[in-house]
Structure 1
Amino acid sequence: MFERFTNDAREAVVKAQEEARTLRHDRITSGHVLLGVLGPLGGAGGRALRAHDLTPALLRPLVAREVDGLDPDALAAIGIDLEAVRQATEASFGPGALDGGGREARPGHIPFTANAKKALELSLRVAIRHRHRSISDGHIVLALLMLPDSSAGRALRAGGVDPDALKETALREIVSPAA
């Protein structure tokens, strides 16, 4: 499948790994993939995200707040306020105590979570559906939008994104890429 990735899609995957490493996370989540799409090459997906005022500076803290895959909404449903837990922990142990700050950056390969793998697999399906021979970072954005309960989905919601509007923008970008 990766042989079908365009340079911007490959760069997004490499950047996702760098983001996970920078955040000292031990897995690459769909949120890291979302950050990766905002990488330096600026393909269709990156343009679509930036058109909705999404930047690494906005999204990185939202992705970093994922604590070992804990879903703040699911925890709230059972009466646990993750933000209150975070504040209490940081008051006792210092800023970033729940962000893996005590862990060393992981050398070598960092595995992908199931949702991150699913997003990359779905990007192939999106490309095929649109009869594209290659997979761009725009296809990756469309795939991430298909996983609303993932780390990327939560980050997009927290960033105030209208998923339908982002989908329209990404579709426009992949069918008429900038020259």
Structure 2
Amino acid sequence: MIRRNGLDAQALEAIGIDLAAVRDKLEATFGPGVLDEPGPVRGRVGFGPAGKKVLELSLREAIRRKDDHIGDGHLLLALIREGGPAVDVLRWARIDPEALRDEVDAAL
């Protein structure tokens, strides 16, 4: 979860990532309150805990790569990093998640 206060926010701010700007961009793209608790928010459903976790991990992937944006490749890297149902689907389709991760990372 992206927090405005706490160690995560301080660590990100130390390397030049402004959480307020990240929140503003997410709200501009997905609507106000997107990072609030899940449930109806002005006629739509916000991100649940799993969605928030993937967004956080995609931000961490962008930071790891020293990228200045979060794109679809970062989201895919985050889904693979998290494991869970997305990786189960990849394995079901006989796709090696680690090999895919390496390919996506190289393509970015």
- Scaled by the length of structure 1, the TM-score of the pair is 0.36
Which of 134, 142, 154 is residue 69 of structure 2 equivalent to? Answer: 134
For residues 78 and 56 of structure 2, the distance between their equivalents in structure 1, rounded to whole angstroms, comes to 8
What secondary structure, in the 3-state scheme, does the structure 2 residue paired with 1:146 have? Answer: helix
Greater relative contact order (Cα < 8 A, sep 6+): 1
1:161 shift after superposition = 1.4
1:132 shift after superposition = 0.7
**1:152: which partner in 2?**
86
For residues 169 and 131 of structure 1, the distance between their equivalents in structure 2, rounded to whole angstroms, comes to 17
Task: Say yes or no: does 1:164 pair with 2:98.
Answer: yes
Aligned residue type for 2:57: L
1:139 shift after superposition = 0.7
For residues 66 and 80 of structure 2, the distance between their equivalents in structure 1, rounded to whole angstroms, comes to 19
**1:73: which partner in 2?**
none
Q: Name the CA shift for 1:113/1:157 in 2 (closer, same or farther; >3 Å).
A: farther
For residues 153 and 113 of structure 1, the distance between their equivalents in structure 2, rounded to whole angstroms, comes to 19
- Scaled by the length of structure 2, the TM-score of the pair is 0.57
1:154 shift after superposition = 2.1
Which of 49, 52, 69 is residue 114 of structure 1 equivalent to? Answer: 49
**Which sections of structure 1, spanning at least 5 residues, go unmatched?**
5-9, 14-26, 28-107, 175-179
Q: Deviations over 1:34-90 (max 9, x none)?
A: xxxxxxxxxxxxxxxxxxxxxxxxxxxxxxxxxxxxxxxxxxxxxxxxxxxxxxxxx
Alignment of 1:93-104 (within 5 A): none
**2:60: which partner in 1?**
125
Larger-gyration structure (1/2): 1
**Which sections of structure 2, spanning at least 5 residues, go unmatched?**
1-21, 31-37
**2:35: which partner in 1?**
none
Identical counterparts, % of pairs:
37
What secondary structure, in the 3-state scheme, does the structure 1 residue paired with 2:44 have? Answer: coil
For residues 163 and 119 of structure 1, the distance between their equivalents in structure 2, rounded to whole angstroms, comes to 16
1:113 shift after superposition = 3.0
Q: Name the CA shift for 1:112/1:159 in 2 (closer, same or farther; >3 Å).
A: farther
1:126 shift after superposition = 0.6
